[in-house]
Amino acid sequence: MTTIGIVDDNDVLRQSMQLLLENSGNFQVVFSLHDVRTLLEQTEIFMPRLLLMDIDMPGINGIEAVKMVKKDYPSVEVVMFTVFEDDEKIFRSVMAGASGYLLKKTPPAKLLEALDDFVHGGAPMTGSIATRVLQMFRKQTTQTAESFNLSPREQDILTGITDGKSFKIIAAERFLSTETVRSHVKNIYEKLHVHSKAEAVAKAFREKLV
């Protein structure tokens, strides 16, 4: 059972999301908030595996909230759940530390599938959003994998991550154990100075490491 917190000022949608998640049998909603005023307090108490975060909210917006959460609780993953598709908000969300970006128009079944994939090592991102992310980061300046001291194996695994593959699939394709892949991923994060899969993917494309 994956613990999850929901932050969205649309009360009807938030309650619907809670019902959808809990009825799936795979998620336990540990808190449901209208805004971010008590977010850090609730996160400290419940330490959810992930947060489903709206962007446009009264007071502190979702992007700033991601920065707050990742600063104090880097192990908590955040998936943006929003109506916005513009490049700036996508870029700012990923740079703030969001691990995924889903649109509110995503059908319920696809939403559950994306979140379940996240739990198993994927990076939930609506298809149209994934395309925009690729386009954005391919326009950025470059560095080489060697400049980050990535080994050939680490670069190979980073390529698998940017392809959207789960740790389990990456391990199977390379005849490695999942734990070995996780160990390599930890080293990749340290060398790239990132804290999540989304940040690693963003940096890989921005620096053209893959």
Comparing CA positions, the residue from 130, 129, 125, 191 lying closest to residue 158 is: 191
The whole-number pLDDT of residue 33 equals: 97
Q: Which domains does the chain have, with CATH numbers?
A: 2-136 (3.40.50.2300), 140-206 (1.10.10.10)
Look at strands 27-33 and 100-103 and give their pairing. unpaired
pLDDT tens string 81-114 = 988 877 778 778 887 888 888 889 889 998 998 8
Whether 101 and 94 have beta carbons less than 8 Å apart is answered as yes
Number of neighbours of residue 74 by Cβ within 10 angstroms: 11
Is pTM beyond 0.75 here? no
Comparing CA positions, the residue from 185, 91, 196 lying closest to residue 138 is: 91
Per-state percent for the chain, helix, strand, coil, to nearest 5: 55, 15, 35
pLDDT tens string 108-152 = 998 998 888 777 776 666 656 666 665 665 555 445 556 788 898
